[in-house]
Structure 1
Amino acid sequence: MTENNKKVHEIRAEVVAHAHHAGDQHILRLRAPEIAAQAEPGQFVHVRVSPCRPMRRPISIMLADPARGTVDLLYKVVGAGTKELAERQPGEYLSVLGPIGRPFDLADTSRRYVLIGGGVGIPPMIFAADRLAGRAETVLFAGS
């Protein structure tokens, strides 16, 4: 399968870290080198929480580190599927499909970028700000 002329990978990703934050938000770090190597700001992954829940959850990529082969996902518990995802521990594995979606166009570094996001719209803005750091003037506004 391809997306934007890049291969979409279905992989078995290891949970490397999983932190709970205020507002029932979580940051999940996965070892997913194939996805980390291709991920761009604005893209997301589909996570299968468990074999008992075949429907995948779409979650935006907050950061990707190709050198370490990891992707960070920020999500909020909003239902039974994400509640079950919140119980995953380091060392466990998840089925992940990605990267998916059309990435942001960040090629023009002569422009000023104003990134605005709220709630689940914040992770792609963090990823964009990270990729623009040191290349273009960037302002990030984030809210709940």
Structure 2
Amino acid sequence: MKLLVLLVCLAGLASVDGGVIQFARMIKVKTGKNALAYNGYGCYCGLGGTKQPLDATDRCCHAHDCCYSKLKSSSPGCHPTLVHYTFYLQGDEIVCEPGNFCQKTACECDKAAAECFKKNLGTYKKSYSNYPNFLCKGSRPQC
């Protein structure tokens, strides 16, 4: 997840239109927040991920990491942070367009995370922004 947010930053500097761009758009649409607000949040949002998630928002990032890991293991050659997919809004609902397995599943992973962020907006704590990983405690939950 932290890699994803880093790529969002880099994508802003380059003319890349991969999955991170669409994910950032989903986050903005669902939460009203810039995707960078999640960079370095808690123990899982942003590059890497370790120990126990701190709150429900951080658990959204852990679940997103798990979704991407499952996708990569089931579809060798799939790079969910780079694959281009399309989605549209039907009212407030994100609808992933059909595509190949990698595109469709990456879109569904991103959609689930954006919806999770929206559902858990009330748990977002500014004090968990740029949270140092060495403060994360406990064991890493299984996917």
Does TM, scored on the shorter chain, surpass 0.5? no
Larger radius of gyration: 1
- Name which structure has the greater RCO, CA cutoff 8 Å, separation 6+: 2
More helix by share: 2
